[in-house]
């Protein structure tokens, strides 16, 4: 079966971002960018399914600036077979528009499995997979920690509040990955070299009939409220005394 994996170019997970002084957004100039960590897990899962013989081809897609082809190449170095870059100003696109573009790609490529991260670590929306499921009328296995493909069905164990839930979906199915689904591998140098030669198509949102921009307007972006500086206590006695008499929380 064919697998489609969506990856997003985001600020690296270890970077502490700063809000721009004019409150228009966060400052991303000269900041390290990477594949969204959850999407890396989605790529890894697709590659593992290919190694097991379940998946025959992995198509990786990214929607974003021209530079997002770096992330597509990274996914190819991990094992994806070919890539599609939908070049767009992703600040103008919300989750709904992204889902609509992905729907167009799915209709063209007809994958049986569609893997995405459960959320992007920049906007923290956690929406695209679910929206794509709705647009395609396909089942969704969100926050997946175990994926088992059996013929035309997929069993997905999901991380839910309180524990785990297992559901069975008919293919084509959408799977959004949680952190515990797998441990992504590192790309080996020869694979990085090979990835440069793999096919990469460039498209635009209009190719998939999507011309609208998001109806959510970001009015301003502010830093979170600062916490008052704390104090170091020297002993357990001092800690207990402070918690009882100063903070009055116990």
Partner 1 sequence: MSILVIAEHDNKALNGATLNVVAAAQKIGGDITVLVAGSGAQAVADEAAKVAGVSKVLLADNAAYANQLAENVAALVADLGKGYSHILAASTTSGKNVLPRAAALLDASMITDIVAVEGAKTFKRPIYAGNAIATVESAEDIVLATVRGTAFDAVAAEGGSAAVEAVADVKDAGISKFISEEIVKSERPELTAARIVVSGGRGVGSGENYHTVLDPLADKLGAAQGASRAAVDAGFVPNDMQVGQTGKIVAPDLYIAVGISGAIQHLAGMKDSKVIVAINKDEEAPINAVADYWLVGDLNTVVPELVSKL
Site for partner 1 in 109-128 (CB under 8 A): 118-119, 121-128
Q: What residues numbered 23-52 form the site for partner 1, per CB under 8 A?
A: 26, 38
Please identify, using beta-carbon distances, which residue of 80 and 169 lies nearer to partner 1.
169
Query: CB neighbours of 191 closer than 8 A, spacing ≥ 6?
Result: 77, 78, 79
Q: Which is nearer to partner 1, 19 or 187 (CB)?
A: 19
d(CA 69, CA 65): 8
Given the complex with partner 1, which of 80 and 120 has the nearer CB atom? 120
Residue 38 parent element (H or E): helix 37-51
Answer whether 174's CB lies under 8 Å from 116's CB. Answer: yes
CB of 198 to partner 1, least distance (A): 30
Q: Which of 13, 188, 193, 206 binds partner 1 (CB under 8 A)?
A: 13
Taking CB under 8 A as the criterion, the residue among 11, 49, 58, 101 binding partner 1 is 11
| 77-116 binders of partner 1 (CB under 8 A) | 94-96, 99
- Least separation in angstroms between CB 201 and partner 1: 25
Question: Residue 25, CB half-sphere, CA atoms under 13 Å: how many?
Answer: 8
**Token reading at 165:** 């839930």
Helix residue ranges per DSSP H, 79-167: 95-109, 128-136
Joined tokens for residue 46: 């697709």
Contact between 233 and partner 1 per CB under 8 A: yes
Binding to partner 1 in span 56-75, by CB under 8 A? none
Site residue total, partner 1 (CB under 8 A): 81
Query: Quick one: tokens of 135?
Result: 């647009």
Cβ nearer to partner 1, comparing 68 with 154 = 154
CB of 87 to partner 1, least distance (A): 22
What is the footprint of partner 1 within residues 132-191 (CB under 8 A)?
Answer: 132-135, 137-140, 142-143, 145, 155, 158-170, 178-180
Q: Inter-axis angle of helices 128-136 and 95-109, to 10 degrees?
A: 50
Query: Residue 8 and residue 127: Cα distance in Å, rounded?
Result: 13
Taking the least distance from each CB to partner 1, the nearer of 18 and 196 is: 18
Lay out the site mask for partner 1 across 188-227 (x = CB under 8 A, - = otherwise): --------------------------xxxxxxxxxxx--x
- When the beta carbons of 53 and 232 are compared against partner 1, the nearer one is 232
Cβ-proximal residues to 176 (8 Å cutoff; 6+ apart), any chain: 38, 42, 115, 116, 117, 118, 129, 130, 140, 141, 142, 143, 144
Residue 49 contacts residue 55 (beta carbons within 8 Å): yes
| CB nearer to partner 1: pick between 164 and 188 | 164
């Amino acid at each position: 079966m064919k697998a489609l994996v969506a990856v997003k170019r985001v600020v690296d997970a270890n970077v502490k971002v700063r809000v721009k002084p004019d409150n228009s957004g966060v400052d991303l100039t000269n900041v390290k960018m990477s594949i969204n960590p959850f999407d890396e897990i989605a790529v890894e899962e697709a590659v593992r399914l290919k190694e097991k013989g379940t998946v025959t081809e992995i198509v990786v897609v990214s929607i974003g600036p021209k530079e997002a082809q770096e992330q597509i190449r990274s996914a190819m170095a991990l094992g994806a077979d070919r890539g599609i870059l939908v070049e767009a100003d992703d600040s103008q696109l919300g989750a709904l528009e992204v889902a609509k573009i992905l729907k167009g790609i799915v209709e063209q490529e007809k994958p049986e499995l569609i893997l995405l991260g459960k959320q992007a670590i920049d906007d923290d929306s956690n929406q695209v997979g679910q929206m794509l499921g709705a647009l395609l009328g396909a089942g969704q296995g969100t926050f997946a920690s175990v994926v088992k493909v059996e013929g035309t069905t997929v069993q997905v164990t999901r991380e839910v509040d309180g524990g785990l839930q297992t559901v069975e979906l008919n293919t084509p199915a959408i799977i959004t990955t949680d952190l515990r689904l797998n441990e992504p591998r590192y790309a080996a140098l020869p694979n990085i070299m090979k990835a440069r030669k793999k096919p990469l198509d460039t498209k635009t949102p209009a190719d998939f009939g999507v011309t609208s921009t998001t109806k959510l307007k970001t009015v301003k972006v502010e830093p979170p409220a600062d916490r008052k500086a704390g104090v170091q206590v020297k002993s357990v006695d001092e800690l207990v005394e402070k918690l009882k008499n100063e903070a009055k929380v116990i």
